[in-house]
Structure 1
């Protein structure tokens, strides 16, 4: 026997959220086989053509994964899981933000860096012009800027090239938080507090958080402290209480550890940023299901 990629307990919660199964036309690979085939591919980092036949035809699995990445189905699944977790009071709104680098495999860097769509704030799934691939010290890399809740589960993320500075992406990542309510009302978009390291303490970031009533625990860099001594100003409060809060920032590092257990996420082989983002959404959905809704390891 081969082990299931998704346990029966997780599937029982996930299945009702999936789109209706097509009944007309050619026989369709059932949803569980298709989703498990996609999970297997990204867990192992193997090419699509190597997906085992027990999941169905690899091309059918790829086409469904690609279609759902294009129409936003994977992110809608994650939003539904966020909604259920919030209804259960399981979302910890003291969030942590950071970024991680993923090397881009040569098979994922074959498209010209000018074939994406122009930036479009109305469509967050629009393909960026550079496909979120940049050249940094590690070669061709993709950076995942991510915010996790206080229990280390992904809430929102943005993909950029690996050469993009962290501090410039803080507002975009936090702006992506959208946790739907079970009843009437707008999705929740503002956490109670943001924990971040010394890559984020710009004046613009602090002002943006202050305007929205979001508390911040962000230490200053040495150069900022020295500048304040030359030109006295209002000091940043980072006493014992703030230091105690800051210890909780490690949850975002643990979140990256969970995501990078998937080899197809640890090294990007997708040509399109849209599909790589969908793979992260799939992994994030399973992380939330296992740790929140069914409370299994």
Structure 2
């Protein structure tokens, strides 16, 4: 396979039936989906400007507009959801999930749009661009934070983005609530993992109560300040938090999953001006990960 042919024939055979056939508004058929899709993937993998796409993918404007459209109308999310349904039906999803976040610097080319802070804290299945474009100022400068939940095999289930200075704990409910994997047959989508692993940033009474209410085992250690505050209050402080320390060692899968995502240079550094297209690139990366898993299934 050449450097520009980024999808195998097996992977394309899996995704081709899931691609929209025509423009829903005007009824015009789309052009070569495979060429455009591979152009989008190549751009994010190589981390180049859209204008610098090789000519084998066609006009760069067409490639960008297709990605902008499919990111905004939910096409990428719908394709990922269908792949997750097939993966769950094949028993490929390990429902011991891990959650974490990572901060990625925003390049100067991504930060030259007017921004209005105070927008929504989470962005999932967007239809309109958020006012702050999911860019905030953290210690490292202007940045975007990816909130990610993966299964026990490092494969992504939920991807949300927010400004870089946003906290992890307030996003936990949004991340857990975004789990929804449809069944291939009758029945409601699966929304409840067996257990959820998280680091101390997610240690709060509200998060533990959320997991307890939904019947999900919490594997989250307690922060030092919470331990000291509980001990100071003695009997009124409640019981110590218990969690399976051996199970917690498997939380590293979410860190390793981030490493896989950041192999695409335009995801490790944000070059996109719009939160829509940046998150669309993340979802597209998740699609390729599941395509590889499903393609290896006999």
Return the TM-score normalized by structure 2. 0.92
Contact 1:91 1:149 in 2 (8 A): yes
Which residue matches 1:235?
A: 240
Instruction: Give the drift of 1:29.
Output: 3.7
Instruction: Give the drift of 1:2.
Output: 3.1
Contact 1:116 1:131 in 2 (8 A): no
Please point out which of 75, 79, 82 is paired with 1:80: 82
Which residue matches 1:2?
A: 2
Please point out which of 107, 110, 123 is paired with 2:109: 107
Instruction: Give the drift of 1:126.
Output: 3.6
C-alpha spacing 1:237/1:51, structure 2 compared with 1 (3 Å) = same
Which residue matches 1:145?
A: 147
Which residue matches 1:205?
A: 207
Please point out which of 278, 285, 288 is paired with 1:286: 288
Measure the CA separation in 1 of the matches of 2:110 and 2:41: 18
Measure the CA separation in 2 of the matches of 1:257 and 1:76: 24
Query: Deviation per CA, 1:97-119, whole angstroms, max 9, x where unpaired?
Result: 00001110111111111299878
Which residue matches 2:13?
A: 12
Contact 2:122 2:171 in 1 (8 A): no
Instruction: Give the drift of 1:132.
Output: 0.6
C-alpha spacing 1:34/1:16, structure 2 compared with 1 (3 Å) = same
Instruction: Give the drift of 1:120.
Output: 9.6
| More displaced stretch, 52-61 vs 222-231 | 222-231
Contact 1:265 1:280 in 2 (8 A): yes
5+ residue gaps, structure 1: none
Instruction: Give the drift of 1:48.
Output: 0.6
Contact 2:122 2:161 in 1 (8 A): no
Number of aligned residue pairs: give it. Answer: 291
Q: After the TM superposition, which residues 108-127 of structure 1 pair with which residues of structure 2 at under 5 Å, given as runs?
A: 108-114=110-116, 124-127=126-129
C-alpha spacing 1:99/1:118, structure 2 compared with 1 (3 Å) = closer
Measure the CA separation in 1 of the matches of 2:156 and 2:124: 22
SS of the aligned residue for 2:99 comes to strand
RMSD across aligned positions (CA): 2.3
Query: Deviation per CA, 1:121-167, whole angstroms, max 9, x where unpaired?
Result: 99644422211100011000000011001111111122111101111
Query: Deviation per CA, 1:53-78, whole angstroms, max 9, x where unpaired?
Result: 01111111111111111111011110
C-alpha spacing 1:157/1:120, structure 2 compared with 1 (3 Å) = closer
5+ residue gaps, structure 2: none
Measure the CA separation in 2 of the matches of 1:169 and 1:109: 23
Return the TM-score normalized by structure 1. 0.92
Measure the CA separation in 1 of the matches of 2:205 and 2:91: 33
Measure the CA separation in 1 of the matches of 2:127 and 2:147: 15
Measure the CA separation in 2 of the matches of 1:123 and 1:18: 17
Contact 1:119 1:126 in 2 (8 A): no
Q: After the TM superposition, which residues 54-203 of structure 1 pair with which residues of structure 2 at under 5 Å, given as runs?
A: 54-114=56-116, 124-203=126-205
Contact 2:261 2:268 in 1 (8 A): yes
Which residue matches 2:296?
A: 295
